[in-house]
Structure 1
Amino acid sequence: EFCERFSYYGMRAVLTLYFLTYLGWDHDLSTAVYHAFSSLCYFTPVLGAIIADTWLGKFKTIIYLSVVYVLGHVIKSVGAIPTVGSNTVHIALSMVGLILIAFGTGGIKPCVAAFGGDQFQEKHNYFFNNNSGIVKSNSFKLPRGDVQCFGGDCYALAFGVPAALMMVALVVFILGSSLYRRNPPQGNILLEVCNCIGFAIKNRWRRSKYESKRRHWLDWAEDKYSKRLITEIKMVLRVLLLYIPLPMFWALFDQQGSRWTLQATRMNMSFGAFSIKPDQMQTLNALLILVFVPVFDLFIYPLVSLCRINITPLRKMATGMIFAALAFGAATLVEVHVVKTVVKPAPAGQCLLQVFNLAPGDVRLHFPESQPFPEPLMYLQDPGEYLKLPLGAPSTNVSLEVDYEGTASRCNVTFGQQEAYSLILHPSRAGIRCRLVSEHLASVASRRFVNTLSEAVTVTVGDETFHADANYSVSANKTLQRGVYNKVSCSLQSKTCPDLDLGLLDFGASYTVVLLESGRITTHKMEDVHANNVHVAWQIPQYVLITAGEVMFSITGLEFSYSQAPANMKSVLQAGWLLTVAFGNVIVLIIAEGAGLEQWKEFVLFAVLLLAVCGVFSVMAHFYTYVDAQHLDKMDANDHSGGQRSSKGEQSWGSLNPRRLVPP
C-alpha cells in the first residue's frame, strides 16, 4: 500500500506541470484535464467493488487491476519520451495511460483496505494509515528538473519511478498470496440497494393509482424485499442526502495539485541553502495531517467542550468548510501579489514587445500610428516591462522609422496577435538594422545570449549549451535551474575565451546577456522579465487552513457516516463518499474551462460558493436527527445471531472499523 500510494501521488504531483511545460497546454486546460483524471479515479471504485463482489473476488481484482495500473504507468512514462513520435502521439499516450491508471487505482481502492480487513478477526482492532506514503512521494524529489534527459526536464523518469514502485507493490502482494485469507465473492450490496430502490420507484408508478398511499416511497418495495433491508436503506438515504452539498468542499481541496501548484510556479522557491519545486508544496498537507489529527483529538476538541460548546460531527464538518473557504481567501491574497510580477499573455488583437538598443548611442523609434516609445532608447538600456502593441489583423506588417545620429532608416517587421517579441536594434554599415525575435514567456528562469562578436560563440551554462552565430545573432532561450553561475565556459571558433561571470539566475526571471569585446570578452546582463519576488512560504497559511478543514470535514464526515448506518450498509456510504470527491473534481473542470475568470477572481468564486453551500449544509444538519448507536448495535447483533440479513456477506467496503479509519 505504501508503494501504491507513493506511485499514485508521486505521479499526480507533477501531472499539472507536465501538461504545462511538456505538452505546452495553458493553465486552464492543464487544470481541467488534471481534475478530469482525478474525477475518474473516484468514479471507478464503484466498478471495482462490483467486479470484486460479484465476479472475481477481492484478491483477483487487486491482481488484475494492478496489472492495468502498471500498464498505465508504463504508457504514461513512454509518452513523456520526446523521441517517441510527435506531440499528438505524446498526448494520445498520456491520455491512454491516465485512463488505465484511473481504472487501476480506482478499481483496487475499495478492495485493498477491505482485503486487509479480511486478514483480521472481528475481535481485532487495527489502524490503517496511508499518509506516510503520500508524504514520502511528495517530499522525495522525483527526477524531473534535477535530472536532465533528452535535452530537458526528465518527465519520462519522473513517471517511470512511480511505474517501478507499482511493479514492486504488485510483486510483493503476489509473493504473499499463500498467506492470505480469501473470502469468495458473495454478492454486492450496492447492486442490491439499487435494485430495491428501482423496484420501489417502478412499483409505486404502476400501482399508486389504485392502491392507498404508503408512509414512505421505499415501502412500495415490500412486495419483493424484506422490511429490514428497506429500513436500512432509509437510514442510508438520510445520510446520502447530507452528501449532496459535500462535492463543493472537494472542489476546493483538490486544487492543491492544480491551481495552487501553478501559483507556486510563479513564486520564489529558494530557502537559501536549498530550493524546492512547485509540486513539493503539496507535502505540507500530508505532513500537517499527521500533526493535526492528534492535536485536534487530544487538545482542540476537548478544549472546545470545556467551553460548553456542543461540537457535533455535522458542526465540525460545517466548520471544516469555513476553513477551506478561508484557505482560498488566503490564496486570493497571495495571487493578487503574484500577478504583479508575472507577464500576462497578450490579449486578442495585440502583441507584446520589448526593444534592445545595441547601437552605441541613443536611438528613437517611431511607429506608423502610435508612439509606444516617446523617449530615446539608450545604449544597453534594460527593456523594462513588455508593451502591448495593438494590431489591426492576425498578422500585421509594420514599417518602423529609426533615428540614429541624425540619420533615419526604416525596418519592416511582421507581428502576430497574442505573441511576444523582442526587437533588437544593432549597428551596421548602412546605419541601424532590426532583428525581430519571437519569445516564449516561461514561468521559470531562462537565459539567452546576443553575440556582438565577429565570430560564432558557444557558451555552456550548467547542463545547457548556447550557440550564437557572429554579428548580433541570438541564441535559443533555454530554462535553467536557479543558481549563481560565476564560472561559465566560453569558446570561439578560433580560441577559448576566459570563464564568464553571469551572476544569479533567479526564479521566474528571463535574462538577455550581450557578449561584448573590448580588449577581452565581457558580458552585459539585462533582465527582460523581473524575478519572482513573492516567496512560496506565503502559501503556508492556505495549506494550514485547508488541512485544518480536511481534519474537521473529511475524517469527521466518514466517521459520522459510518456511525449512522448498519455495518452491512457501510459499503454504500463509502461509495457515496467517494462519488462526492468525483463530483467535486467535475465542478473544478467546469469552472476552469467555462468561467474564463482571472485566477484571483476564480479563487474568490470558489470561496463564496463554498460558504453558500456551507449555509445550505448547516440548515440540513439542523434538521437531521442522529441515530442512536445502541439501536445500530442491536441491529448488528440480530444480524450476527441469525436474524434476516439484507446482504450476502462482507463486501469490498465495510470490513473496516469506522472509528479506526483514516480516509484516503
Structure 2
Amino acid sequence: MSDNKDNITGPEEAQVQADAPVKLSTPQWAGLRRVPDKLPTVALLILIVELGERFTYFGLSGPIQNYINNPYDPSSDLPGALGRGQAVATALGNFFKFWAYASTVIGAVIADQYIGKFKTILVACSVYIVGLVVLVATATPKSITSGAGFGGLIAAMVLIGLGTGSIKANVTPMCAEQYRNSHPIVRTLKSGEEVLVDPELTVQRMFMWFYWVVNIGALSPLITVNVEAHHSFWLAYLIPLIAIIISAGVFISGQKKYVKVPPEGSAIVDAFRVTSIAIKEKGFENATPSALRESGHDGRYAIAREERFTNEYVMDVMRGLNSCKMFLFFPLYFVCWIQIWNNLISQAGEMALHGTPNDLLQNLDPIALCIFIPFLDIVVYPLFRKYRVNFDPVTRIFVGFMFASISMVYASVLQHYIYNSPPNSIHVWIQAPAYILVAFSEAFIIVTGLELAFTHAPKNLRSVVSALFWLTIGVSAAICIALAPVSQDPYLVWMYGSLGIVGMDDMVLRDARDCALDGAFDVLQPEKTLGAEEPDRDDRVGHLKILIGDGSGIGGTGYEKPWDCAYCWAWAYVNGLAE
C-alpha cells in the first residue's frame, strides 16, 4: 500500500496498525465501523484527462443549442449561427449525446479486446482534437455565411462523439484499477477507535471524487457561453480545443506510473460463450466447470476444456450481467437529465433574461454537484456509517429518481406559467431549482451506476460493462430524438409533466429494486472482498451483517435479525443464508 504522502486522504482515514486481511465472521470485527481507504495519487493523473475531456465536451455543448437554433445576426441579443430552429437544435443535440455515449462500446471493445485502456485513451484524444479543429474552422463568420457551418458541425459531432465515448468508457475503470487493495483491513484511528477499512467504500469514494472532477470540468460553459455571447462561436470552441491538448499531455506524462491491465484478445468472445453455455444449461450455476463435470456435459463445449474457464470466471460473467439489469432503468432517468442541456435552455429564452445568457443557468448543475458531493463524502455518508444506517446502492438510486422527477414536475409547472404570462415576463432565475434538483439526483444515480459497473464486472471486461452504463445515456438521447416533435410549443407542459410522472412511477422504482437484488446486493464476491478462498457460511453471514448492520438494528431500522428486512431476507434466501 502507498505511503501517506502518496495518497489523497479523507476525514476518516487512519494510521495503519494492522495491514492484514481479517476474518469477517470474527465477532470482534463484525461490529466495527466501516471506513474508506486513502486514494492513490497516481489516479489524479488519469482524472486530469477526464477533467480536460469534460471541460471540452461541456464547453462546446453549452453554446451548441444557440449555435444551431438561432440565425446568424450580429445585432441580436441572442447569439446564433445556423438558424435551424428549436426542434432541429434539440434533435441534433440529442444525436450528439446519443453518438457520444453509444460510441463508448466501440472504445471499450478496442481497449478490452485489442490495445488496452491507456492506448485507447491516447487514440481517442487524437480523434477528439481533429474533430475540434474542424469545428473551430467552420464556426468562423466567413464559414457560417458561406454555408460551411452545418456540414462542419456534423463532421465535428461524429469525430468528437467517437473521441469522448472512447475516453469515457476507459477512464473510470482505469482510474479505479490504480487502487490495488482488495481485502478489508483493520486500522486504528488517531482517536483510538478500531475501524474496518473497506475496499468497496474506497471504490465508492473514488467514483464520487471522479464525478466531482467531471463537474469541475462541466463549469466550462461559464466561460464559453460568455465568449459566444460577447465575441464569437469560433473562439468559444477554441478554448475547449486548447484544454483537451493540455490534458492529453498531462495524461501521457504519467504513463510509467500507471497500473495497466493488459487486454485479453478473447475476453468479449469468452463472455458470450459462457453466457451461451448458461442459456443452454439453464443457469450460470449449471455452466461452471464443476457443474458441467458433474452433469457429464463438459465434453459438449470446447471452452470447458480451456484453463481460463474456471468457476470464478463464470460467476464473474454472471455478476457482470446482473449488474447490467439495473442499467435497464437508467434511460428513464437520463431522459430527464438531458432536458437541462437543451429544452430548459430554450425555455430560458422565453423568460426575462435581464442580461443573463439563456444558456448560463445550466452551470448551476455542476456548481451544485461540486458542493454536494464533498458534503456527502465528508459529512453525510460518515454519519450514516457511524449510526449503522444502510444507505445501499439501490436506495441511493431510488432517491436519485425522486429528485429527477421533482425537477421535471417543477419545469412543467414553470412552463405552464410561461404560457399564461406576458412574453418574457418571468425572471429566468426562477428556473434555478430545476437544475439544482437534477444535480442532487446525479450524485446518487450516476456515481452509484459507475460503482456497480466497476465492482460487478469481470476484471477483463470492466471497460465493456462501464460502456454499457454510459450507453444508457445514448439510449435516452435516442428517446429524446423521438420526442423532438413535442419538444416545442405548445406541448412542453405535457412533455415535462410526463417525464416527471414516469420517474415517480412507484411500480417502476419497485421493479428496479427487485431487479437489483441479483446485482447491487450481490456482496458475496470472495475474490474481491475475502481473498481467493470460498467463504464458509459463517464468513457469509458475517460479511452480510457488516454490510447491512451488526444484527442489533439493520440500517437504523430496529430490525432484530438481518432477515427481518424484506430485501435483505430475499437476498439472503437466494444465497442460502436465511434462517
TM-score relative to the length of structure 1: 0.58
- What is the Cα deviation at residue 251 of structure 1? 0.7
**Residues in 1 aligned to 2:533 and 2:227: alpha-carbon distance in whole angstroms:** 54
**Residues in 2 aligned to 1:608 and 1:630: alpha-carbon distance in whole angstroms:** 32
| Deviation per residue, 1:297-328 (Å, 9 max, x gap) | 56556888999986443133122212211101
- What is the Cα deviation at residue 619 of structure 1? 2.9
Which structure: larger Rg?
A: 1
Moved more, 88-97 or 124-133: 124-133
- What is the Cα deviation at residue 598 of structure 1? 1.3
- Partner-residue secondary structure (3-state), 1:268: coil
Q: Does the Cα contact within 8 Å between 2:228 and 2:236 map onto a contact in 1?
A: no
> Which amino acid in structure 2 is aligned with residue 60 of structure 1?
K
Q: Does the Cα contact within 8 Å between 1:315 and 1:618 map onto a contact in 2?
A: no
- What is the Cα deviation at residue 11 of structure 1? 0.5
| Deviation per residue, 1:535-564 (Å, 9 max, x gap) | 121111112221222222222343355555
Show the counterpart of 1:239: 323
**Residues in 2 aligned to 1:56 and 1:623: alpha-carbon distance in whole angstroms:** 34
**Residues in 2 aligned to 1:246 and 1:309: alpha-carbon distance in whole angstroms:** 25
Does 2:162 align with 1:65? no
- What is the Cα deviation at residue 280 of structure 1? 2.0
**Residues in 2 aligned to 1:120 and 1:4: alpha-carbon distance in whole angstroms:** 22
| Deviation per residue, 1:587-614 (Å, 9 max, x gap) | 11111236776111211121122223x5
Q: Does the Cα contact within 8 Å between 2:216 and 2:366 map onto a contact in 1?
A: no
| Deviation per residue, 1:467-515 (Å, 9 max, x gap) | xxxxxxxxxxxxxxxxxxxxxxxxxxxxxxxxxxxxxxxxxxxxxxxxx
Alignment of 1:288-299 (within 5 A): 288-297=368-377
Q: Does the Cα contact within 8 Å between 1:218 and 1:230 map onto a contact in 2?
A: no
- What is the Cα deviation at residue 174 of structure 1? 4.1
Question: Cα gap change, 1:315/1:276 in structure 2, threshold over 3 Å: closer, same or farther?
Answer: same
Q: Does the Cα contact within 8 Å between 1:242 and 1:617 map onto a contact in 2?
A: no
- What is the Cα deviation at residue 638 of structure 1? 5.5
Show the counterpart of 2:15: none
> Which amino acid in structure 1 is aligned with residue 271 of structure 2?
V
**Residues in 2 aligned to 1:568 and 1:52: alpha-carbon distance in whole angstroms:** 10
Show the counterpart of 2:351: 267
- Partner-residue secondary structure (3-state), 2:362: helix
Q: 1:37 aligns with which of 85, 89, 96?
A: 96
Show the counterpart of 1:514: none
- What is the Cα deviation at residue 60 of structure 1? 2.7
Show the counterpart of 1:286: 366
Alignment of 1:415-430 (within 5 A): none
Q: Does the Cα contact within 8 Å between 1:314 and 1:557 map onto a contact in 2?
A: no
Q: Does the Cα contact within 8 Å between 2:127 and 2:160 map onto a contact in 1?
A: yes
Return 5+ residue gaps in structure 2 as ranges.
1-48, 71-80, 183-198, 535-579
**Residues in 2 aligned to 1:636 and 1:102: alpha-carbon distance in whole angstroms:** 37
Show the counterpart of 2:61: 12
Question: Cα gap change, 1:336/1:69 in structure 2, threshold over 3 Å: closer, same or farther?
Answer: same
- What is the Cα deviation at residue 122 of structure 1? 4.6
Q: 1:192 aligns with which of 253, 270, 276?
A: 270
| Deviation per residue, 1:515-543 (Å, 9 max, x gap) | xxxxxxxxxxxxxxx6x221121111112
Show the counterpart of 2:314: 230
Alignment of 1:247-646 (within 5 A): 247-270=331-354, 275-297=355-377, 311-340=391-420, 532-560=424-452, 562-564=454-456, 570-593=462-485, 598-612=491-505, 614-622=506-514, 624-625=516-517, 631-634=524-527
- What is the Cα deviation at residue 331 of structure 1? 0.7
**Residues in 2 aligned to 1:54 and 1:560: alpha-carbon distance in whole angstroms:** 21
**Number of corresponding residues:** 433
Show the counterpart of 2:566: none
Q: Does the Cα contact within 8 Å between 1:43 and 1:578 map onto a contact in 2?
A: yes
- What is the Cα deviation at residue 57 of structure 1? 3.0
- What is the Cα deviation at residue 29 of structure 1? 1.6
- Partner-residue secondary structure (3-state), 1:140: helix
Q: Does the Cα contact within 8 Å between 1:236 and 1:573 map onto a contact in 2?
A: yes
**Residues in 1 aligned to 2:477 and 2:282: alpha-carbon distance in whole angstroms:** 39
Question: Cα gap change, 1:587/1:84 in structure 2, threshold over 3 Å: closer, same or farther?
Answer: same
Higher helix share: 2
Higher strand share: 1
- Partner-residue secondary structure (3-state), 1:279: coil
> Which amino acid in structure 2 is aligned with residue 577 of structure 1?
F
- Partner-residue secondary structure (3-state), 1:603: helix
Alignment of 1:37-56 (within 5 A): 37-56=96-115
- Partner-residue secondary structure (3-state), 1:631: coil
Show the counterpart of 1:453: none
Question: Cα gap change, 1:112/1:240 in structure 2, threshold over 3 Å: closer, same or farther?
Answer: closer
CA RMSD of aligned residues (A): 3.5
Question: Cα gap change, 1:279/1:588 in structure 2, threshold over 3 Å: closer, same or farther?
Answer: same
Q: Does the Cα contact within 8 Å between 2:316 and 2:456 map onto a contact in 1?
A: no
| Deviation per residue, 1:129-176 (Å, 9 max, x gap) | 42353254132254544533xxxxx11111122112222223444455
Q: Does the Cα contact within 8 Å between 1:189 and 1:572 map onto a contact in 2?
A: no
| Deviation per residue, 1:71-112 (Å, 9 max, x gap) | 101111222123227665321110000110000111122333
Q: 1:133 aligns with which of 205, 211, 216?
A: 216
- What is the Cα deviation at residue 341 of structure 1? 5.3
- Partner-residue secondary structure (3-state), 1:185: coil
Q: Does the Cα contact within 8 Å between 2:319 and 2:522 map onto a contact in 1?
A: no
**Residues in 1 aligned to 2:393 and 2:475: alpha-carbon distance in whole angstroms:** 22
**Residues in 1 aligned to 2:472 and 2:328: alpha-carbon distance in whole angstroms:** 8
**Residues in 1 aligned to 2:516 and 2:115: alpha-carbon distance in whole angstroms:** 39
**Residues in 2 aligned to 1:631 and 1:610: alpha-carbon distance in whole angstroms:** 31
- What is the Cα deviation at residue 632 of structure 1? 0.8
Q: Does the Cα contact within 8 Å between 1:131 and 1:290 map onto a contact in 2?
A: no
Moved more, 162-171 or 125-134: 125-134
Alignment of 1:131-210 (within 5 A): 131=214, 133-142=216-225, 144-148=227-231, 154-174=232-252, 177=255, 184-187=262-265, 189-198=267-276, 204=280
**Residues in 2 aligned to 1:622 and 1:629: alpha-carbon distance in whole angstroms:** 12
Show the counterpart of 1:89: 148
Show the counterpart of 1:104: 163
**Residues in 2 aligned to 1:56 and 1:163: alpha-carbon distance in whole angstroms:** 25
TM-score relative to the length of structure 2: 0.66
**Residues in 2 aligned to 1:197 and 1:577: alpha-carbon distance in whole angstroms:** 19
- Partner-residue secondary structure (3-state), 1:323: helix
Q: Does the Cα contact within 8 Å between 1:58 and 1:111 map onto a contact in 2?
A: yes
- What is the Cα deviation at residue 566 of structure 1? 5.9
Question: Cα gap change, 1:566/1:179 in structure 2, threshold over 3 Å: closer, same or farther?
Answer: closer
> Which amino acid in structure 1 is aligned with residue 394 of structure 2?
L
- Partner-residue secondary structure (3-state), 1:241: helix
Question: Cα gap change, 1:190/1:12 in structure 2, threshold over 3 Å: closer, same or farther?
Answer: farther
Q: Does the Cα contact within 8 Å between 1:565 and 1:632 map onto a contact in 2?
A: no
**Residues in 2 aligned to 1:200 and 1:179: alpha-carbon distance in whole angstroms:** 39
Question: Cα gap change, 1:169/1:555 in structure 2, threshold over 3 Å: closer, same or farther?
Answer: closer
**Residues in 2 aligned to 1:85 and 1:10: alpha-carbon distance in whole angstroms:** 20
Q: Does the Cα contact within 8 Å between 1:324 and 1:549 map onto a contact in 2?
A: yes
